[in-house]
Chain A
């Protein structure tokens, strides 16, 4: 699905990513761990193609195509979607209007009607992200992605800033986004959407089963392994120790 080769990325004058190699196979869920400021969000922004990042070296392949220099919308049309941690406010543009305008396969009305179960009904007529709380931003992002139906999603800390009462709602929605739960009601859910997920607490792992995890620090991937194992090590020993002990040159 996604393959990143020796990616170097600048943001402003600073080199943030210093040669990242990473891949996500079809249908796989990959977790990205790493301390604050290690470059995780920059990597997601570079995959999406945001102008705040400048790729100076390396390559991003998606579904076998080189997307390194594609525009943001071209990437979105190929099937990449992103849940931002701090999306911008857009005054005057209603969330419902954006959902309708971007919905794939005419699913806009379905997504809008599902908004009620997702406690987002009253937000459809509000300006996008303006005055939204942390949890409301997450729900808004997930609602937009539900309409967009990407094949591959970038989730930047889906559980951060969400209160305990709402974490279940968010977790289930993330699950629904990755798993094809609709057809043949009741049959075992198939995972149809791949993802790359940033998490600090690992809470989201209770809702999605992840295949692989990477640890990033100082703009490089240091280590890879099973998500629960890495999380345990990070919890017990911290990132520094974890990297030292499991040093796998990527």
Chain B
């Protein structure tokens, strides 16, 4: 058991990956924040949320919005099947919630988790009740609104036996909070025969630091899909979500699409630990560098017989000046596993561009179409609800030139 003292010592502990960020440079984020009743009436925040797929459309089951460190909105149209609260509210309301805190992630993992632990950070709490199959997604939104501050969140997602849910999370900075730090710890528990599709769309400022810490525990025949999309400039982002396939027949899929523009430092990917027999994992990464630095990681760990997994990192380098590093890793501890990987780094094929140009598209339009296909079209299983957001983000990213 971790004690507060152990975690305190970890406050100086650099993360395993990514540039070290001096967290003392930032103020605490506000906990007492403006309350939004309706997204429609959220003023200039509405546009920011729109860019990361957070909408006031009917086809969302519920919505949680955090501004800095305080919950600003929580609405829920499916009280019978899903409970939405802030993490601190959930801890007060239910005695059992504490049993899920810091069980998937060690708080002394690095300075960011330690800080979140010691701050008793709030975050969103989503609990899907046993057997409930949600028809529409729940959306969550994390906004960084205060410059020179740190947003520390601790989210908890529990999908009980036989239940299923899709979550769309949009994270963004408002225009006056460029130089800020986002730390989001997310612990996800998917029980036997349960299913979660978790999609994140990020859009940060050019100097923003981003350190999400995500880990997922998956039970027997449970499944987890992690979609991560970053198509806007960011200062420094480092994230390495982990799925632990603990129950027999569990499966997970990571789909990552990233763009590293000039000045952006992106280090991301996914890890799957196949701890139970006949588990299955797939990690797909599609990245583009346009003068920025991009590290695409993927790691498969096979700890049980019958584990099958595949890892694929593909990158396109659009212009000179940046770096692209693909790091696929496979680790097996038992004999009967089947794990493969593929990695490719290249440029956009000229014959493809000219082929589309011969149909009348300009060079920029042709390149944008190829990139859109490369990023979105080649990953199967993306929720249709995300397609429009991805299209909009790609159009906005102005990839053609």
Contact = CB atoms under 8 A, between A and B. Distances in A.
Contact of B349 (A77, A88, A127): A88
Contacts of A73: 357-358, 360-363, 366
A219 interface: no
B370 interface: yes
Contacts of B359: 76, 81, 98, 102, 144, 148
Main secondary structure of the interface of B (DSSP, over half): helix
B379 to A, nearest CB: 8
Interface string B335-356: 0000000000000011110111
Nearest to B369: A93
B360 A92 contact: no
A93 B360 contact: no
Interface string A99-125: 001101000000000000000000000
A90 B349 CA distance: 9
Given A72-B354, A98-B356, A91 B377 contact: yes
Tier of interface size on chain A? 20 to 34
B356 A90 contact: yes
Contacts of B373: 90-94, 127
Given A93-B372, A101-B369, A48 B358 contact: yes
Contacts of A101: 361, 365, 369
A75 B363 CA distance: 13
Contacts of A51: 350, 354
Given A51-B350, A93-B373, A127-B373, A88 B378 contact: no
A90 B370 contact: yes
Contact of A88 (B352, B369, B377): B352
Which of A51, A77, A84, A92 gathers most chain B CB within 10 Å?
A92
A127 to B, nearest CB: 7
A94 B377 contact: yes
A193 to B, nearest CB: 16
Interface string B36-61: 00000000000000000000000000
* Nearest 9 interchain pairs by C-beta: A92-B377, A92-B373, A93-B373, A72-B357, A92-B378, A102-B359, A73-B357, A76-B360, A88-B351
14 contacts: A51-B350, A51-B354, A71-B363, A72-B354, A76-B358, A76-B359, A82-B358, A91-B377, A93-B369, A93-B372, A94-B377, A101-B369, A148-B359, A148-B360
Given A50-B354, A92-B375, A127-B378, 17 more contacts: A49-B354, A73-B362, A76-B359, A77-B360, A90-B352, A92-B370, A92-B374, A92-B376, A93-B369, A93-B373, A94-B373, A98-B359, A101-B365, A127-B373, A127-B377, A144-B359, A148-B359
